[in-house]
Structure 1
Amino acid sequence: MSVKLIRPRRFGDDRGWFVETYNAERYAEMGIGVTFVQDNHSMSRDVGVLRGLHWQAPPFGQDKLIRCVRGSIWDVAVDARRGSPTFGKWVAAELSAENGHQLFVPIGFAHGFVTLEPNTEVEYKVSGLYAPQAEGGVIWNDPAIGLPWPLAGRSPTLSPKDEILPPLSEANSPFDYDGQPLEPIDA
């Protein structure tokens, strides 16, 4: 599977709008034939809160379907699959309450985001239950990856565990290449 940017259709009138944020049949037609088993919701008070870059190792891997329901984020997926011709490459998109876009991040990719507005809320579906023993990831500012985080010259707010993640070259990725290289997304 590959990373996909999804733009759910909104139906609006003078009252506001309605959107279907998930439909198993429609998503399967897009190549997302995943059974989601857990929903997560985070709130970040400040601009510049950076969460990531995370994964869960097999057999507890998690496909993720991410959306921002309040505020906005710059959301990123980094190819962490050993042997991939796009290993260490990334794609990113701005997700916001206003644009309603979603990012699907399959198992094998490190995922993270930074908040662009105060009081930003993010919801995401995952295909595997949280397993603390399977947590892993890479440091947000790994120069080999070269992510251009939109931080406007300031340092991000990180959790203690995110501050000490290793670079990708030392992370001992638990993922193998599945034959599908990372493709650009239409951000």
Structure 2
Amino acid sequence: MEKLMIKNMLNKVGFVRIALMASVGIPFILASNAFAQNPPPPPPPGAAPAPAAEVERVIVTGSNIPTAEEVGPNPVFSLNRDLINKSGAGTTTEQLLQRLPVVNGTNIPVNNNGTSQSGPSGTAALGLRGLDPGATLVLVDGRRVAPFPGAALSGYGFVDLTTIPITAVQSIEILKDGASTTYGSDAVAGVVNF
């Protein structure tokens, strides 16, 4: 019986604690809502409205700070249409580029057989400075050329030079130095513009 009385007493004490916390906490919750419902006091009569803040106009102008790459001479090799005609190259662009001293003939692999491991058959890729053809950016009239669709088979993306006819080329500019800061990571070896 004594245990039952202690248990009953603890239940009453627990209920009293909860009731006490609720009776103290509920007025604070309701009072905070009452403060939010009071309108702001009206301004005193005769007081002038506060002047509007003046906002200054700010003009931001971008500037180009020349770097050593932009100021110094770039190693650009150029060929115009007259030099292309006098070169005696065949009808394909890769035949002309293989004869240039800027580009090693070994850097333009022409794959004519279907068993080649270096790329699809009948394609020609250009690689400057002994790097993979994927590290040389090829442009036509200053715009990027889409990579060859079979590039996934060869392991690197490249532009097929057989798709650029030599008769359509008016000039060739070859930037023999890395231009990744200007053109991105696909121009590490250099840039060729047709």
Taking structure 2 as the reference length, the TM-score comes to 0.21
> Which structure has the larger Rg?
2
More strand by share: 1
Q: Which has the higher contact order (CA 8 A, sep 6+)?
A: 1
More helix by share: 2
